[in-house]
A and B are shown apart, each in its own frame.
Chain A
Amino acid sequence: MKFRAWLAILAGFLPASLVAVVAFLTAYSWPAIRFNGVNFIWHDVWNLGNLYADPVHVGGMPIQPGAHYGILFLIVGTLLTTAIALVLALPVGVGAAIFLAEATSGKLRIWLSSFVELLAAIPSVVFGLWGYVVLIPLLGRHVYPAMAKVLAVIPFFSGPPGSGYGLLTAGIVLSIMIVPLIAATLRDALVAQPKSLREAAMGMGATRFEAIWNVVLPGTYRVLIGATFLALGRALGETMAVLMVSGNALNYLPHNIYTPVSTMAAFVVSQLDSALQDPTGMAVRSLAEIALILCIISVIINGTARAMLWFWARSPQPGGA
């Protein structure tokens, strides 16, 4: 039993580090949580106050005069970029998965799948580099002005086309980063579906594609939802690529799809050195509060996805395995 005990202790470092991170962030940001209250989420202004004036006391805590922390624009920015990323990535991921699983086999499938998964291996900062150097000039100078003219009837797509830094660009880069996750997971699920399903459907007169679309694919809906949640979690935490292409908006909500935005993760990176200017420390703790909220949201989404996948793996699903 001694060996098992040792192993259990060593193994315990992993959950311990997770607990430590959450506990520490909560403890560190507690003064900020008390100061900011619930308004943190509804208010739209991130204001460190007058850094060159003397601190005042509010609620027993020293802060710079005029300091007020609200992250509504960050929450909106995060949600919108993630939503756009999912809307772009799901069709591409599903289509690619169908092709890989059904139209290729053997060595070709292995090679093509590995090729698609190369995308998942590229580091985030390299995506940011490509977006900053190639995508932004292309979109800002050519694509967005054309889009703004052609799609002017749709309210959110009209208006000034901006400079290329913005919501849609960040959404595009994010979608490229999460597509391999969806495609690979769905492809494995499609391949794992029993052949009898396909054969039965085709035996009843369906074409090959109809069989896939109406019989095989519905059997993988659960995996698809699980994969979507995982991709959502990944997109929420993406930092460097978004930081380099999103435009870093401050204190305003986007009025069209080309407007600059900020996301929570990118904001924490870009604002840490500004926050360190606050001698009272409230700004750094408010940033820690943002990190904590981000951590909790990611944990909830990831935990839900894993729980769903685990639960569904146990209960039989009609129409498929």
Chain B
Amino acid sequence: MIDRHSSARRCARICSAIGIAGVLLAALLPGSGTARAADQMRLLETGSSLLYPLFNLWVPAYSSSHPDVQITTQSTGSGTGISEAISGIAQVGASDAYMSNPQMHANRSMLNIPLAISSQMVNYNPGVNLPHQSIVPIHRTDGSGDTFIFTQYLAFSTPSWNQSIAYGTTVAWPAVSGGLGAEGNPGMVNASKTTPYSIAYIGISFKKATDAAGLGEAALQNRAGEFVLPTAATVQAAVRATAARTPADERISLIFAPGAQSYPIINYEYAIVNSRQPSRAQGTAVRQLLDWCINPRDGNAAHFMDAVGFVALPEAIAQLSRKQIAMIH
């Protein structure tokens, strides 16, 4: 009894000492660089899992030339990107979907700034020679820009879908028994991989993963009636057919573009940013980051775009984006 007490007392003293020392150390420890924490600008980029692989390539390149900025990237879904950009938790919200009219009315200082152009695949896990089995549709559970562009395609191409379900970052999918929900593009790849006879919509930046998993890619019927796969040529054809219509606030759908060679599901990858930043230093840091991202020599350079299967912004659109970026203060 006495032994246990003295050992307990010693244990208590040691643990409290470790705890207090540890917390003090953690609080005083500088960030990963040698600069003091107060000098480091920390930016949080959160949102689209479709843009996430590209941002993960951008951040190391950007940080090497801008060591005073620390950028955390997160793949949480476009819905979270939009809401955290609105509430200020994240400085850059990545989203495949532009904000809706009600959202813009409620938050008038928000900007939707395209950073690149991406597309989406429809993948299937075929089993053997399309046997007589139930198809398992897989949808996204999180608020997803991929859901937005896929349901827009369904809504624009199929009037009955438009009447009943329409489009959005979250929709009430029709009840198909056996249908799965997955979280994020990676979750879609995994779910599709393990589920025979499944169909899933997956962003183009995950093409390497879907190829590695042995998933098939479906050719989609475009507005002209042709069945096309998402290649650089078909995406560029769709861009040429639709980008000219882009308004100044750049909120526009590129879905179901006209043209025989156009791929029907392409979209702008948006950075959702609040034009009113809490401090001048933060506004400058965000502006510099976004300018770097859309610069055809930096973020929009060919090696970045090719790595994820995206297409660089046309010069006219980049100009519009630059004008919007200049509004951040």
Query: A residues engaging B (CB < 8 A)?
Result: 44-48, 50-55, 64, 66, 136-137, 140, 160, 162-165, 247-252, 254-255, 259-260, 262, 270-271, 273-277, 279-280
B contact residues around A55 at 8 Å (CB): 102
Q: Which of B274-289 contact A (CB under 8 A)?
A: none
The answer, yes or no, to whether B100 is at the interface (CB within 8 Å) is yes
Is A162 touching B178 in the complex (CB atoms < 8 A)? Answer: yes
Query: B residues engaging A (CB < 8 A)?
Result: 76-77, 79-80, 82-83, 100-103, 106, 133-134, 136, 139, 141-143, 166-183, 191, 194-196, 198
Contact among B79, B80, B83, B181 for A260, CB-based, below 8 A: B181
A contact residues around B139 at 8 Å (CB): 250
B151 CB → nearest A CB, Å: 10
Is A251 touching B141 in the complex (CB atoms < 8 A)? Answer: no
Is B178 touching A259 in the complex (CB atoms < 8 A)? Answer: yes
**Distance of A165 Cα from B136 Cα, bound (Å):** 12
Is B79 touching A54 in the complex (CB atoms < 8 A)? Answer: no
Is B79 touching A273 in the complex (CB atoms < 8 A)? Answer: yes
Give the secondary structure class of B's interface.
loop
B contact residues around A249 at 8 Å (CB): 179-181
**Distance of A53 Cα from B165 Cα, bound (Å):** 12
A274-B102 in contact given A163-B196, A255-B177 (Cβ < 8 Å): no
B231 CB → nearest A CB, Å: 29
A279-B103 in contact given A163-B195, A273-B77 (Cβ < 8 Å): yes
Is B194 touching A274 in the complex (CB atoms < 8 A)? Answer: no
**Distance of A276 Cα from B170 Cα, bound (Å):** 10
Give the secondary structure class of A's interface.
loop
B36 CB → nearest A CB, Å: 34
- Enumerate 30 A-B pairs (CB-CB under 8 Å) in ascending A order: A50-B168, A51-B169, A53-B102, A53-B166, A136-B194, A137-B194, A160-B133, A162-B136, A163-B191, A165-B180, A165-B195, A248-B141, A251-B172, A251-B174, A252-B179, A254-B177, A270-B181, A273-B143, A274-B77, A274-B169, A274-B170, A275-B170, A276-B79, A276-B80, A277-B83, A277-B168, A277-B169, A279-B100, A279-B106, A280-B102
B253 CB → nearest A CB, Å: 10
**Distance of A51 Cα from B144 Cα, bound (Å):** 12
B contact residues around A160 at 8 Å (CB): 133-134, 178
B contact residues around A47 at 8 Å (CB): 172
**Distance of A45 Cα from B165 Cα, bound (Å):** 13
